[in-house]
Amino acid sequence: MSGSSILELDNVSKHFGGLSVVDNLSFSVPPNSCTGLIGPNGAGKTTVFNLITGVHPTDAGHIFLDGKDVSDLPSRQRIRHGIARNFQNIRLMPHLTTIENVMVGQHCRNDGLFGNLQPLNILPGNRWRKEAREALANAGLEHYEHAAVRSLPYGVQKRIELVRALVAQPRLLLLDEPAAGLNSAETGALSDLLKTRCIARGVAMLVVEHDMQFVGELCDRVIVLNFGRKIAEGTPNDVRNDAAVREAYFGSDDSGMETDHAS
């Protein structure tokens, strides 16, 4: 389809049994942009991520990455088309150290038997190890290099997951509630990290997030989902004042809730 978007969903639908989770959804993410995907709980946001990354097949419609139809591509191959993601519930490998977890993210850039059999843990000067260490340092995580990930604080684990996604060198980063559970200082650090590591480097982002302040600061455009359908699209400010959006979040009674936090 169009070659000007990094990601394009064209009339994508998904049902689980009789439940329609994503219904005729179309939107696109331009390169070098940050798009927010918001909506009440159960609106289908995470399912959209799972459809894009291939965790679930779509029932109808097409997904284009960089103009290429990936709808029928196995999930394993999609990361090679430039998408990487984090997970709403942190999913690091508990039996790997921090740096080894990061090196899992490099895997898609290194294939074949030779790449697989390169010793990463013996020579300190190994190219991949050095790169992973730098990526950790850029996120302020160098102190945790050899730590067992399960023992680390929640916020640190979230950042490690982000670094793991970034070392895949994606052109589109899918972030599922990156700020959930973080305190305001951690959220600020995350926001800065995303600005310097993604936006400044031309990595497009699609962000599911409930923290509207975070979304407003980071995203240039917001798509609002409710019951699997797109109900609004626009700048964070437009969307905040959209009647349909307010109704989806707060009900039809306009009782004048003025909070920025939509969760």
Partner 1 sequence: MSAYAEGILVLLAINIVFAYGAFLPVAAGQLNLGVAGFAAIGGYVSAFLTNNTMVPAFVAILIGGVAAGSVALIVAVPVLRTRGIYLALATFALGEIVRATILNLEIVGGAAGYPVAKFIGLPMVAAFALTVVALVSLLFATRFGIAMTAVHDDERVADLMGLNVRAYQIAAFTLGSIIAGIGGGLYAHHYNYIEAQYFNVSLSISIVLYVLFGGTQSVAGPLVGTIVFTLLPEVLRGSAEWRYVIFAAVVIVSMALRPQGLVTAAPWRRLLGLSHSDDSDGRERLA
Binding residues vs partner 1 (CB under 8 A): 53-55, 75-80, 85, 87, 91, 93-97, 100, 103-105, 107-108, 110, 115-122, 128, 146-148, 150-152, 164, 168
CA distances from 123 to 43, 130, 131, 161, 227 (A): 48, 10, 13, 25, 52
Strands 19-29 and 7-16: antiparallel
Name which of 81 and 210 has its Cβ closer to partner 1: 81
Taking the least distance from each CB to partner 1, the nearer of 10 and 161 is: 161
DSSP string, 166-199: HTT--SEEEEESTTTT--HHHHHHHHHHHHHHTG
**∠ CA 222-161-29 to the nearest 5 degrees?**
25
Give 82 or 236: the residue with its C-beta nearer to partner 1.
Answer: 82
Cβ-based nearer residue to partner 1, 4 or 121: 121
Q: At closest approach, how far in Å is the CB of 255 from partner 1?
A: 42
Q: Is 49 exposed, middle or buried, given 0-12, 13-18 or 19+ CB atoms closer than 10 A?
A: buried
Task: Supply the minimum distance, in Å, between the C-beta of residue 208 and partner 1.
Answer: 16
Considering the complex, what minimum distance in angstroms separates the CB of residue 135 from partner 1? 15
Q: How far is the CB of 147 from partner 1 (least distance, A)?
A: 4
Q: How far is the CB of 261 from partner 1 (least distance, A)?
A: 30
For partner 1, the closer of residues 110 and 138 by Cβ is: 110
Q: How far apart are CA 1 and CA 173, in angstroms?
A: 21
